[in-house]
Amino acid sequence: MIELTTTRHNELIDPIVHVWGWEIPIYLFIGGWVAGMMILSGYFFMKGRGKEYHCVCYRIPLLALGLITLGMLALFLDLEHKFYVWRLYTTFAVKSPMSWGAWLLLLLYPTLFIIFLLQVPDWISTRWPILHSWSQKLRSVKAITKIVGMVNIVMGIILGTYTGILLSALGARPLWNSAILCILFLVSGLSTAAAMVHMIAKERAERELLARADNLFLFMELLVLALFFIGLLSSTNVQIQSAMLLLNGPYAAVFWVFVVLLGIVVPLFIQNLAVNHKIIHTPVSPIMVIIGGLILRFIIVSAGQFSHYANAHFIR
């Protein structure tokens, strides 16, 4: 072996840690999105309003099943030792959020499949009549619908918070050292899920209700973002510097323009006019919300890896 350089230049580590590229932000985004969908559809089933709120109960569970599969695919693509992925299921590491997540993802499939079975779309039930008969059996006992709804809400909350805990448990990255990161991702997941429903819902009543809910979630997201920064800014120097990465450092332009302005404030304004019938409802604002949620995950993952205890080279 001929190598002349002896200073460290490890791939993915130097000059700045960048172990996670696009796969993890995509996975975290989809995880939060699906969590929001589970909470919303679970809520309407629990309230016994499946018939009225057709889209959120009828189409969303199937969409969530497809999306979580895509998310898991992204997670798998990120692994460097792919053929050993089964090792996740040979143990349970209590202190590792990733281990919790691996087992949680296994439990998600039956949970989502049962809520999907509660109202199987026609194009599926005509092709596989057995699903239709299962669906009728499930619905014949009213308590089952309620319990399945509640289980979906609980699993959705666990999934949504887990995507944040996954990052905040990694103590070496000051930007992620915030317990409120999981609440931020949960609320962002709820707002993107509500945006998805009011974008594709055909019934006007459902669209308006979900747009109103989305406005509430977006407002909460602004508050949680503020709390996230208050927490970091009132902590030690490294946490303050890591918050500054987003507030006025190298990530500030993307953060303020795409996450805060175009991802939260402008859609909140547009949707507020739409639900008050000042303007017509278009898919523009929900698309902005969804893209804003995606960019939020990218920026948190990227800036988090940039933030560091020792090489505070980003300090102004």
Partner 1 sequence: MARFAMVIDTVKCVGCMDCVVACKTENKVPEGFNRDWITTDAKGKFPTVQMEIRSERCNHCDNPPCVYCCPTKASHVHDLGGVVLVHHHMCIGCKACLASCPYDARFIHPDGYADKCTFCIHRVEKGLDPACVAVCPTHCMYFGDLDDVESQVSKLLLERKNHALIPEAGTRPEIYYLI
236 binds partner 1 (CB under 8 A): yes
The answer to whether 156 touches 39, Cβ cutoff 8 Å, is yes
Select the residue interacting with partner 1 from 70, 93, 279, 315 (CB under 8 A): 93
Select the residue interacting with partner 1 from 95, 202, 277, 316 (CB under 8 A): 95
Give the nearest distance from C-beta 14 to partner 1 in angstroms.
8
Number of residues this chain uses to bind partner 1 (CB under 8 A): 44
10 binds partner 1 (CB under 8 A): yes
Rounded to a whole number, what is the distance in angstroms from the first to the last CA of the chain? Answer: 41
Select the residue interacting with partner 1 from 123, 143, 171, 277 (CB under 8 A): 171
Length of the chain: 316
Select the residue interacting with partner 1 from 62, 114, 170, 261 (CB under 8 A): 170
Give the nearest distance from C-beta 19 to partner 1 in angstroms.
4
Tell me the CA distances in angstroms from 26 to 32, 71, 168, 257, one per residue in order.
10, 7, 17, 20
Distance CA 215, CA 154 (A): 22
Residues 6+ apart with CB under 8 A from 53: 44, 203, 206, 209
Give the nearest distance from C-beta 29 to partner 1 in angstroms.
18
Select the residue interacting with partner 1 from 47, 51, 87, 137 (CB under 8 A): 87
Give the nearest distance from C-beta 70 to partner 1 in angstroms.
18
Distance CA 202, CA 212 (A): 16
173 vs 198, beta carbon nearer partner 1: 173
CB atoms within 10 A of CB 118: 21
The answer to whether 58 touches 112, Cβ cutoff 8 Å, is no
- At 143, the amino acid letter reads A
165 binds partner 1 (CB under 8 A): no
**Interface with partner 1 by CB under 8 A: which residues?**
1, 3, 6-14, 17, 19-20, 78-82, 84-85, 87-88, 90-91, 93, 95-99, 101-102, 169-173, 236, 238, 305, 308-310
